[in-house]
Homo-oligomer: A and B are copies of this chain.
Amino acid sequence: MNKSVIRVGIIGAGNVGGALVALLRDPTRREALLDAATGPIELVGVAVRDVAKRRKDVPNDLLTSDAAGLVGLDGLDILVELAGGLKPARGYIETALRHGVSVVTANKALMAECGTELAQLAHQNGADLFYEAAVGGGVPILRALRTSLAGERIDRVMGIVNGTTNFILSKMTSEGSDYASALKEAQALGYAEADPSADVEGYDAAAKVQILSSLAFGTALQGEEIFRQGINGVRSVDVDFAHRSGYVIKLLGIAERVGESGISRRAHPAMIPVDHPLASVNGAMNAVFVEGVRSGPLMWLGQGAGGEPTATAVLGDLLDAARNRFSGRHDVPFTVDTSLQSVPYGELESVFYISIDVLDRPGVLAAVAGIFGDNGVSIQSMEQSGFGDEARLAFLTHMAVADRANATVKALAQHPSVDRIGACIRVIDGGRA
C-alpha cells in the first residue's frame, strides 16, 4: 500500500456535486465505502463559483472559490470535475493529470472533444481518467465496456442516451401529443432547457455515441463531427404511422461496424420494432443495447439524468480510482484502433420511412412513384390518407442507400404537386439499420 488515505477534491456543487458530497458523507454508508475503496477517502475541498450560496449537502468549511488552488493542492489524489463545459474544465483536468492526479468527470462534451488526448495524458502520468457519468447518467455502461466486455468483439452499440428527447417522443407516442406541446411539457418539468437545441437536434446524443464508440471499437475522441439528425421534424402522423406498422420512434445513438474495417457513428430518430428491448424504454430513462459476437444482445437501462443517479455513477468511478491508488496502479485506457475507417452516412443502407403531403390530384401518385424510381429507390409499401384538397403519402422503401433516399426527398421537394416533405426516418428491423 502506497497510501493510507485518498484525498479527493471536487469542482462543482450543483445537483450532481451536492449528491456526491452527500453520498461521501452519509454515515450509514461509511463502512461500505471504506470496503469498496479498500481504505479511507478524505474530501479535502469543493470548488464553487459562489461560496456565499447556502448548500444543504456541502458544509461551508469545504467550500472554496479557488478551483485552480484545489487542483494544485499538494497530496491531492483524485479530482472530480463536475463543472461541465470545455473551459475552464479542460485546463483543470490537464493540470491534475500532469501532476499524476486521477480524474473522474461527467463532462461528455469535453470527452468527445479531446478524450483521447486526455486519456493518453492520464496514462503517461500514471493516473486514471474515468467518465462513467458522461453517458447514460446512472447507467454503468462504460465500466461494462471497459471490463466485462474487454475481451469481446462488439458489432453494434445502440442507445437511447438522451432523456429529454426520449421524454418528448414517449409523450408523443403514449398521449398523441404533438412535438411542440411535448417539448413545452418537458421544459415545464425541467427535462428540457429553454434553448433545447443541444438535445432535440441530437448534439448531446452524438457526443455520447462518440464516447461509447471509443470504448466499444477504439475510435478516437477528438471532436470529429458525426452524422446527426434531430427529432424536431418528427410529427404526430409519423408516430401514428409507426404505431400502426408495429414500430416506435426513438432517437438513437448508434455506433456499428460496417464490413471488415468500417465504422459508422451517428445519432438520429429511427423506427424500431415494438418488441425490441429499446422500444419499451420510456420517459426520461436511458438504455444502451450492445450486440457482441459471442455475448449476443445485452442491454443496460436506468435513469439517464438527475443528481443522485448521476452521482452514483461518479461514486463508482471514484471508488475504482481510489482502489487503484491504494494499490499503486492505474487502468490502461482504450487503445485507438487506427485501422477503422469512418463510413459516411450517405453510404449506409437502410429501409426508410418517407412521408409527404401532396395536392390530391389525379396522376400525383404516379409522378411521385416515378421520382422514387428515378433515384433508384424501390417502394415496399405506401399508405395514402386524404384531408381536404391534400393527401398524405407515407412510404416504406426497400433497403436503399441513404444518399439515394436523400436525393429522392430532394427531388420530391421540387415537384410542383408536393406541398411539404414530412419526415425521412430510418427503420431498424432485424439486423442492420
- Give chain A's interface residues, CB within 8 Å of chain B: 19, 23, 28-29, 31-33, 35-36, 38, 132, 138-140, 143-144, 147-153, 275, 277, 279-282, 285, 287, 292-303, 306, 308-309, 311-313, 315-316, 318-320, 327-329, 332, 335
Contacts and interface: CB of A to CB of B under 8 A. Distances in A.
A293 B299 CA distance: 21
Contacts of A277: 280-281, 301
Given A140-B144, A275-B282, 15 more contacts: A32-B151, A32-B153, A140-B148, A140-B298, A147-B147, A147-B319, A151-B316, A151-B318, A277-B281, A277-B301, A293-B308, A294-B312, A296-B302, A296-B303, A297-B301
Nearest to A35: B335
A181 to B, nearest CB: 22
Greatest chain B CB density within 10 A among A277, A279, A281 is at A277
A38 B147 CA distance: 12
A311 to B, nearest CB: 6
A299 B296 CA distance: 17
A138 B298 CA distance: 8
A147 B320 contact: yes
Greatest chain B CB density within 10 A among A23, A138, A285 is at A138
Contacts of A301: 277, 297-301
A397 to B, nearest CB: 28
29 contacts: A23-B294, A31-B335, A36-B151, A38-B332, A138-B294, A138-B295, A138-B298, A139-B298, A140-B148, A143-B148, A148-B313, A149-B316, A151-B318, A151-B319, A152-B315, A279-B280, A292-B312, A294-B308, A295-B302, A295-B309, A295-B313, A296-B306, A296-B308, A297-B302, A298-B301, A299-B301, A300-B301, A327-B327, A329-B329
